[in-house]
Amino acid sequence: MSKRISKMLFSKERVELNIVDDLKKLNTTYYRSTDTANSIIKGLLSEARAAESKIDEAIKAADKIQPIVTEVRKMAQELGINPNNIKELQSAEGAISESAEYKQVLATIKKFISSI
């Protein structure tokens, strides 16, 4: 075999080895990154489920607050008390208002959980 053909074959083998090395490096990067991402996603799912549970609990409480607020307002008026002076009533009405926002947050969390 001539020297020229030998050099060409050697060069071609070296190029092929370089490509395989590049492929190996990229595979390593890919799998390391996806392993890390999967760990993060598992953590996010766990946190999202915990938040979902707490928000659901809060919304259920807020739903039970509404009829009591109505009753307290009615009783306050019957007794001649200004309902706006009842601190707990103000706080309960705030909870009812906020619960509407948390319902939207809950819907977003549920979409996130179901998409994974």
Structurally, the chain folds into a number of domains equal to: 1
Torsion over CA: 62, 65, 70, 76 (sign): negative
The parent domain of residue 9 ranges over: 3-115
The pLDDT tens digits along the chain (116 residues) read: 565 555 555 555 665 677 888 999 999 999 999 999 999 999 999 999 999 999 999 999 999 999 999 999 999 999 999 999 999 999 999 999 999 999 999 999 999 999 98
Q: Note if the pTM is more than 0.85.
A: no
